Structure 1
């Protein structure tokens, strides 16, 4: 009976460990989002984390007659990425992110964690390739 208890206990610890890894450390998805950086701040009571909001263009919604929130809320764990975002507030950004199944307090308040700033440009300015035509 004692041997059964040890085996059951080890199996339970293993299952809980796998569940914890899947819930908090398994990267569920990766992608890129683009928009204007609206808000970026370092905050927290015990764990100080960088949190941000980016406004994306468009008003499309999966259901007809409803408006979709085009605000992308994210967290940042890398201090170098946070420094780049702090310098580019209000600019049009392209961000690479990872999506997790759950959030951890030391990783931020969002399941979306930005890992890289791909591009930063002034809002409404172009590189010359899309200039308006002359009359």
Structure 2
């Protein structure tokens, strides 16, 4: 007569397989989220304006940052006043930074990529300038 009793060893084997599949699926979901949040390019385009500043700053990670003042006016963030349109960005590499640093105050057309999240070693903003298209 056959016994329907399963040994604890077989039960733990099934539990181990289920647990390992759940763990693999959870890791894949986490990896997908990290990719989407920090490495997926959400948008890209060109911004034009006068370069206000380009600086290298940071406590732990030294990154290149800049600000472009665009023509026209927008509404202020608080209140009902008027302010200039500003585009704050991070700079991808030092060669682009040196071009911007030496030509502060000039009119630039800058190509940028927009990400969903900020990585401390990539810069302080979601906008990363990767190319200088035109300078006047």
- TM-score (ref. length: structure 1): 0.83
CA distance in 2, matches of 1:4, 1:66: 60
CA distance in 2, matches of 1:70, 1:109: 19
| 2:54 maps to 1:44 | no
Question: For residues 8-27 of structure 1, what are the alpha-carbon distances to aligned partners after superposition, in whole Å with 9 as ceiling and x for unaligned?
Answer: 00000000000000000000
Q: Which has the larger radius of gyration?
A: 2
Alignment of 1:1-135 (within 5 A): 1-60=15-74, 67=82, 70-121=85-136
CA distance in 2, matches of 1:116, 1:54: 14
CA distance in 2, matches of 1:12, 1:109: 29
**Runs of 4+ residues deviating >2 angstroms:** 65-69
For structure 1, which runs of at least 5 residues remain unmatched after alignment?
A: 122-135
* Alignment length (residue pairs): 118
Preserved CA contact (<8 Å) 2:50 2:105: yes
**Structure with greater strand share of residues:** 2
**Structure with greater helix share of residues:** 2
CA distance in 1, matches of 2:82, 2:24: 50
CA distance in 2, matches of 1:109, 1:11: 32
- Pairwise CA distance, 1:59: 1.2
3-state DSSP of counterpart to 2:125: coil
RMSD: 1.3
